[in-house]
Structure 1
Amino acid sequence: MVEFGITTPARQASFLAQVGHESGSLVYVRELASGKAYEGRADLGNTQAGDGVRFKGRGLLQVTGRANYAACGKALGLDLLAQPELLEQAINACRSAGWFWQTKGLNALADAGDQVKVTRRINGGTNGLAERQALFAVAQRVLA
């Protein structure tokens, strides 16, 4: 967590809550859906046939899309365009989540205590907000 500035109890609790939800309590590092829904999504950089399936969500915070895989791979020193499954390895799943967190400016939102904004920035909406907030409360108690 230090590598990505997730160094205070507020940041750590928020990160753990979001990771807990997005990974199904640390069970999943690969999106269950096929990824076909991402096919042709230029906003994700999916410009080649098969990109949706190839670059579906992976890692503890579900890095999704060719463009995000390229950026994450560059930051972490991994060739994720050639080997997207590297994000399924424990260390890379964790580091990709930290990269995503830092890249999306989530430390500042965690510092402000705004779990709704953190959730929206990760999820695009408030899917699973109640569970994320419950996990946040547990993490806060543990880290206190």
Structure 2
Amino acid sequence: MILTASTIQQAVGCSAAVAAQWAQPLTDTCNAFAISTAKRVAAFLAQVGHESAGLSRVVEGLNYGAQGLADTWPSRYAVDPKAKPKKPNDLARALERKPAAIANNAYANRMGNGAEASGDGYRYRGRGPIQNTGRANYGAIRDALRAKGIKGVPDFEAQPEALEQPKWGALAAGAFWDARNLNKLADAGRFDDITERVNGGQTGAADRRARYARALKALAA
């Protein structure tokens, strides 16, 4: 599978310059992880495109206001998680517009991260086009890529910023995809199930489906 910049631009909806930057890394990733049919590639590009806002965002910003925190993590930051609309709690108001503090609080003691004071939450916040998150995931990606025989793989725990580079970010997305057996779901056309495994829910489902349809069209061209 060779992905041209033109195909990526059409499928992902990014600029020509961004598509050119990602063409080789995404081609290498698809080849490394058997993302080798139109259905597989379209599903992969759709999910990557959504998570990275068209390959324009490869590091999680987390600059939430209090309301955004309540809406995004209601169990943590809403007075009543089941209420509509949700009302931010005192913790949300204390953390709003403080990205590092938000990450350290939201991701503490999860996904291999240490306590809030360790700074792991922000250090290992979402990176790469599929927003790999958490110290344990960074280490697992490193190990998976090295097991594939890919040369020069950095220690992402020691160098988390490396996942912001197209080469490593794309391969990390491929490792994530492979670990969750998403090629099989793509073959079966179970796109919403792929979204569930990527997102843990159906957030952005309509945009993901629209991207999938566009990618299938681009790959058939």
- Cα distance between partner residues in 1 of 2:144 and 2:193: 24
Deviations 1:103-143 (A, max 9, x none): 11110111111111100100000000000000000011111
Indicate whether 1:83 and 2:150 are aligned. Answer: no
Name the amino acid aligned to 1:30.
V
Structure 2 counterpart SS, 1:118: helix
Post-superposition offset of 1:50: 1.2
With the length of structure 2 as denominator, give the TM-score of the two structures. Answer: 0.62
Post-superposition offset of 1:75: 2.2
With the length of structure 1 as denominator, give the TM-score of the two structures. Answer: 0.95
**What is residue 109 of structure 2 aligned with on the other side?**
40
**What is residue 27 of structure 2 aligned with on the other side?**
none
**What is residue 101 of structure 1 aligned with on the other side?**
177
Unaligned stretches of 5+ in structure 1? none
**What is residue 118 of structure 1 aligned with on the other side?**
194
- Cα distance between partner residues in 2 of 1:39 and 1:57: 14
Indicate whether 1:61 and 2:130 are aligned. Answer: yes
Whether the 8 Å contact between 1:39 and 1:53 is mirrored in structure 2 is no
Name the amino acid aligned to 2:141.
C
Give the RMSD, CA atoms, in angstroms.
1.0
**What is residue 119 of structure 2 aligned with on the other side?**
50
Q: Which 4+ runs in 1 deviate beyond 3 A?
A: none
Indicate whether 1:142 and 2:221 are aligned. Answer: no
Sequence identity of aligned pairs in percent? 50
The one of 53, 59, 73 aligned to 1:24: 53
Unaligned stretches of 5+ in structure 2? 1-29, 63-98, 146-152
Structure 1 counterpart SS, 2:156: coil
Deviations 1:5-29 (A, max 9, x none): 1000000000000000000111011
Post-superposition offset of 1:51: 1.1
